Amino acid sequence: MFTAKVQLKSLENSPISFSRYHDTPKDSGKESEKAYEARTWRERCHYNSEGYVYIPPTAIKNCLANIAKYLSEKIEGEGNCKWTKNFKAGILVTDPIELPIIKDKIEGEWLHVPSDGQTGGTKRVMKCFPKIDKWSGEAIIYVVDEKITKEVLERYLKQAGLFVGLGRFRPASGGYYGRFDAKIVSWEKTKN
């Protein structure tokens, strides 16, 4: 097994935005939907007990699994075997990427969106989504499948940053937010 320390950095004009589900209760029976949205929109962030925003570890892992599926490249010397299963089962990301921003300091982006969250929905409402214009952070990726070399991982990370992205309105969902560049800053052999 290998441990890769990876530096991720947002691309120019590609903020990250979140749309995490929350079930914050209304203040009273008289709070309007607009007032509720204005009070609670920051709850769409992922954040720790100190209030610092983070990118969940599953977002990084799923991003890599999705790019492997998207690229559908064959593993050299293994016939028709592709990288998809190796990235899906052969990597672990267990810790979030903590960003140096507190959720209460985040800017919001108000949008007129379908009320049911489905593209093309007939009823629309105003919602606010947290948005961070520039971001960077460090991820630790455990590479269990030793077919995934440092060079393969870095290439797939770079492609994932361009074609899949992270968060709401990412390229994999038809948007352009959440795109990033990635660089492996350390690669160490570790015990299983």
pLDDT band, residue 121 (cuts 50/70/90):
confident
DSSP-assigned beta bridge partners for residue 9: 136, 181
Distances (CA, A) of 74 to 17, 85, 114: 33, 11, 39
Domains and CATH numbers, the chain: 2-24+48-102+135-189 (3.30.70)
pTM of the model: 0.92
pLDDT in tens, 83-92: 999 999 999 9
Mean per-residue pLDDT over the chain, rounded: 94
- For the segment 157-171, what is each residue's pLDDT rounded down to a tens digit? 999 999 999 999 999
Helices then strands (H, E): number in the chain? 4, 9
pLDDT at 137: 96
- As a whole number of angstroms, the distance between CA 44 and CA 103 comes to 9
Exposure of 21 by Cβ count < 10 A (0-12 exposed, 13-18 middle, 19+ buried)? Answer: exposed
Residue 72: partners with Cβ closer than 8 Å, 6 or more residues away: 82, 84
Mean pLDDT within 184-189: 97
Give pLDDT, residue 173. Answer: 93
pLDDT value at 119 more than 90: no
